[in-house]
């Protein structure tokens, strides 16, 4: 469906450019936008490689295990009793999101969903993890800061208070909503 929408938008743009006589502007903008997209991709790729590497170092040094232990009470409060693999996967995923490593959190999120699927209340816990990933509470919004720095911001982290307030609010509303909507779902599935 998305590819269909993109093709329709492209056709409308080309038609409008031809009718307005600005075909040269459209082709120049397309080439310029492609160059900008590649430059941005390389910049974000470098930033992502740095933070994914730091995450791997943190994992091998045992820092993520300590963060997982620190997050254990929060994970227990939100998800209930989980086995060690599920708790570790959820904690690693939440840690990666707290550090603002959205794309680096994807592998840990997949592992967490697989682990949660085997435990009690799989639908509720998977929905809750999805809500927390979507709300993406970030202590360090790395990707946004990198984008702001690339676009000339003198203080790329000045958005930190706004990011914290909005992501905490979204997470709180999402967690309450997930708890209400999925309160009896897993019990009904077992009966």
Confidence of residue 104 (pLDDT cuts 50, 70, 90): low
* Predicted confidence (pLDDT) at residue 5 exceeds the cutoff of 90: yes
- What per-residue confidence (pLDDT) applies to 186? 57
80-96 average pLDDT score: 82
Lowest mean pLDDT among 55-59, 99-103, 115-119, 138-142: 99-103
- What per-residue confidence (pLDDT) applies to 173? 92
Q: Please state, in angstroms and as integers, the Cα–Cα distance from residue 151 to each residue in 6, 98, 132, following that order.
A: 26, 24, 29
- What per-residue confidence (pLDDT) applies to 100? 67
Rounded CA separation 60/64 (Å): 8
Name which residue leads in pLDDT, 98 or 104. Answer: 98
Rounded CA separation 142/132 (Å): 18
* Predicted confidence (pLDDT) at residue 47 exceeds the cutoff of 60: yes
Rounded CA separation 190/122 (Å): 11
Q: How far is CA 3 from the centre of its chain?
A: 22
CB 90 within 8 A of CB 116: yes
Token pair listed for 73: 């009470």
What is the three-state SS of the chain?
CHHHHHHHHHHHHHHHHHHHCCHHHHHHHHHHHHHHHHHHHHHHHHHHHHHHHHHHHHHHHCHHHHHHHHHHHHHHHHHCCCCHHHHHHHHHHHHHHHCCCCCCHHHHHHHHHHHHHCCCCHHHHHHHHHHHHHHCCCCCCHHHHHHHHHCCCCCCCCCHHHHHHHHHHHHHHHHHHHHHHCCCHHHHHHC
* Predicted confidence (pLDDT) at residue 88 exceeds the cutoff of 50: yes
Token pair listed for 37: 């997209």
Lowest mean pLDDT among 38-42, 88-92, 139-143: 139-143
40-57 average pLDDT score: 78
Lowest mean pLDDT among 4-8, 102-106, 186-190: 186-190
Q: What is the pLDDT of residues 156-170, one digit of tens each?
A: 889 889 888 988 898
Name which residue leads in pLDDT, 131 or 190. Answer: 131
Its pTM surpasses 0.85: no
Q: What is the Rg, in whole angstroms, of the alpha carbon atoms belonging to the chain?
A: 21
Confidence of residue 191 (pLDDT cuts 50, 70, 90): very low
């Amino acid at each position: 469906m998305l590819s269909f929408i993109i093709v329709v938008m492209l056709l409308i743009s080309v038609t409008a450019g031809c009718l307005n006589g600005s075909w040269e502007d459209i082709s120049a903008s397309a080439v310029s936008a492609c160059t900008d997209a590649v430059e941005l991709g390389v910049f974000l790729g470098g930033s992502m490689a740095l933070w994914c590497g730091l995450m791997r170092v943190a994992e091998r040094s045992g820092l993520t295990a300590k963060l997982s232990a620190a997050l254990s009470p929060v994970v227990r409060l939100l998800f209930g009793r989980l086995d060690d693999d599920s708790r570790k996967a959820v904690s690693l995923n939440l840690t990666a999101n707290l550090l603002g490593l959205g794309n680096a959190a994807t592998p840990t999120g997949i592992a967490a969903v697989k682990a949660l699927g085997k435990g009690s209340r799989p639908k509720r816990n998977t929905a809750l993890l999805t809500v927390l990933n979507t709300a993406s509470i970030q202590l360090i919004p790395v990707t946004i800061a990198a984008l702001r720095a690339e676009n000339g911001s003198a203080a790329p982290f000045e958005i930190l208070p706004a990011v914290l307030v909005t992501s905490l609010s979204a997470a709180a509303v999402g967690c309450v909503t997930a708890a209400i909507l999925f309160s009896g779902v897993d019990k009904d599935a077992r009966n």
